[in-house]
Structure 1
Amino acid sequence: MAKAFASQGDMTEKKVTFDEVGEGLWAFTAEGDPNSGVIIGDDSVMIVEAQATPRLANKVIEKVREVTDKPISHVVLTHYHAVRVLGASAYGAQQIIMSDVARAMVEERGQEDWDSEFQRFPRLFEGHESIPGLTYPTTTFSDSMTVYLGKRRVDIKHIGRAHTAGDAVIHVPDQNVMFTGDIVEDHSACYCGDGYFGDWGQTLDNIKAYDVDAIAPGRGGALIGKDAVERAIESTRDFVESTFKPAQRVAMKGGTLKEAWDAVRAECDPKFKDYAIYEHCLPFNVSRAFDEARGIWHPRIWTDKRDLEMWAQLQG
């Protein structure tokens, strides 16, 4: 490798924020690191996104304990990525919930994804020795399910492919707040390496149709108020389209992955270079966009070996 992945050199501890996005609803954010959500019901608590390790999960639990002593009964995982799911054991929840498709992806590529992400992002896996193994759900759903935390209703739905094939969103109707996972980001690059560029825009439209009052996104700050929600949805759309279209043009002309990389950089750098994890995501985003533009609809599995081969190719 000519140089390390950008994420391998990102060893700076991030500042944690904990914002209330609705009554009894909280967003745990950390300057572009993976976010988690907290939903406090009458008798218990639901966590959205587990973090990468039990060590990081305990940071979420510390924040939860600042606002409630109710037990954590449910963990909802919006998709299968290691940085989202491998800390689940720390919560001691009765139920771990994923979509059927997300569970199938744990089976298909969970270990490979863990190995790949561990190589790419060492800081997020500090304390990895405490991970007991791959995280599997206790409960799955196909299109939607509803959980009642006492009287508080929580709707968990698959409303389209975007960041992965099995993305889930979590909507709390009494406050009209949504936890979107990595379908929506704010001032953070979207990781598109396992994504569906052709579907992402429609899935964003499906989120817009809820007309929510706040969103806890996958990365970036809490989005409180309809203006903030609209801005983040549209900036996410711009990011996805600005990544795919240049790669598509290169692919249609029979160009190379390196040419696609240069074309995407020319389009995206002026708009998004200051976004969190931009350099980390870019090579994987370009590779996936180039694949999809050439008719590879189902994302290929990333492995620690494939990561390095792709990176060497992009470095020339």
Structure 2
Amino acid sequence: MNSQFASVADLDEKRTTFVRLSEHCWGYTAEGDPNTGVIITDESVLIVDTLATPVMAGRLIAEIRRLTDKPIKYVVLSHYHAVRVLGAAAYRGQGLQEIIASQGTYELIVERGAQDMQSEYERFPRLFQAFESIPGLTWPTLVFRESLTLWMGGLEVCVMHPGAGHTRGDTVVWVPSERVLFSGDLVECDAACYTGDAQLADWPATLAVIRALGADKLLPGRGPALTSPGEVARGLDYTSDFVGTLFACAREAVAAGMNLEQAMAHTRRAMDPKFAHVFIYEHCLPFDVVRAVDEASGISHPRIWTAERDKEMWHALQAKG
């Protein structure tokens, strides 16, 4: 195991790709770093997740401007994590009208947004290039509970909270006429699921809701765009397996009275053979195990991660390997 804290030593830049998914839908991916969705119509543009800083978002805006000069009217936050939301300021000069989030996401920003901002930056500074360009927390201007529908010209865009999973405020964006789904971190592919703020018991039912949509193409939170029904099924199965194996191990550890170090070793025996090779696995697993053990012990609302708690946990668990 890596004794250096989290991903502070990960300095390798990732190659970004701007890939077309359908007539109006695009995916901006970066070799396992957080993905961003883009919907471009003759009337306007919508962004699903903003990238982590305004400077980083500016690079995506440059890609979009090669294709259209239409205003970027909408930003949708798939959840509250800093790496997904703190680049929003870059879109304010591009015609931005609404920053959209679920009620659960708004409540999590209020409760723990400031702590998460510092925590995530100190865990993985490469993901926050030009951190100093962030003007502060990103606050939604339009908050919904279950769903809302946008009409971008003649294109119907459904913004939905399908249930809890990665967080309790998770939001997806669905384009029914093109059968394209932007899932945020509810679905991953070839990357570890970060579950430090998860609702693990609820996640499988939320994945079932997503599966029932019948997407032909899906942009996961991390990993490559899934561009066929078979690939979409693979991403859903992969996420279900990761989450289910993790939580099953935690329930077994709690039932057996294991301490946290023992629970980590028990989880590794099941998880490493299947997932040790995927993006950010070593980064995520200590946070994942702590949250899974908490939830299996009856702590339904995730404890707030702070920069101080991060380091205490990491050096107690990860550095012992």
RMSD: 1.0
Deviations 1:187-228, CA, capped at 9 Å, x for gaps: 011100000110111111100101111001100111011000
Q: Distance in 1 between matches of 2:66 and 2:264?
A: 45
- 1: CA distance, partners of 2:212 / 2:316: 41
8 Å contact kept, 1:179–1:217: yes
Structure 2 distance, partners of 1:5, 1:190, is: 19
CA distance in 2, matches of 1:160, 1:306: 28
Are residue 238 (structure 1) and residue 224 (structure 2) matched? no
Q: 1:224 aligns with which of 207, 215, 227?
A: 227
- 1:123-134 map, 5 Å: 123-134=126-137
- Rounded to whole Å, the distance in 2 between the matches of 1:302 and 1:60 is 29
Gaps of 5+ in 1: none
2:291 corresponds in structure 1 to 288
Partner residue of 1:276? 279
Once the two structures are aligned, what percentage of the paired residues are identical? 50
Q: Give how far 1:6 is off.
A: 4.0
Q: Distance in 2 between matches of 1:66 and 1:252?
A: 56
Matched AA of 2:77: L
Task: State whether residues 6 and 314 of structure 2, in contact with CA within 8 Å, keep that contact through their aligned partners in structure 1.
Answer: no
Consecutive unaligned residues of structure 2, counting only runs of 5 or more, are none
Q: Per-residue CA shift, 1:220-250, capped at 9, x if unaligned? A: 1110110000011001101111111112111
Counterpart of 2:74?
74
3-state SS of 2:289 partner: helix
Distance 2:210 2:50 in 1: 22
Query: Quick check: 1:48 aligned with 2:48?
Result: yes
Matched, 1:30 2:30: yes
Query: Quick one: which amino acid aligns to residue 123 of structure 2?
Result: R
Distance, in Å, in 1 between the alignment partners of 2:252 and 2:213 is 33
Residues 240-249 or 99-108, more deviating: 240-249
Tell me what 2:122 maps to. 119
2:68 maps to amino acid: T
Could you tell me how far apart the structure 1 residues matched to 2:298 and 2:273 are?
28
In structure 1, give the amino acid aligned to 2:140. Answer: P
Matched, 1:157 2:178: no
What is the 5 A alignment of 1:85-104?
A: 85-92=85-92, 93-104=96-107
Q: Is the 8 A contact 1:42 1:152 kept in 2?
A: no
Q: Report whether the alignment pairs 1:9 with 2:12.
A: no
TM-score (norm 2): 0.96
TM-score normalized by structure 1? 0.98
Q: How many residues align?
A: 315
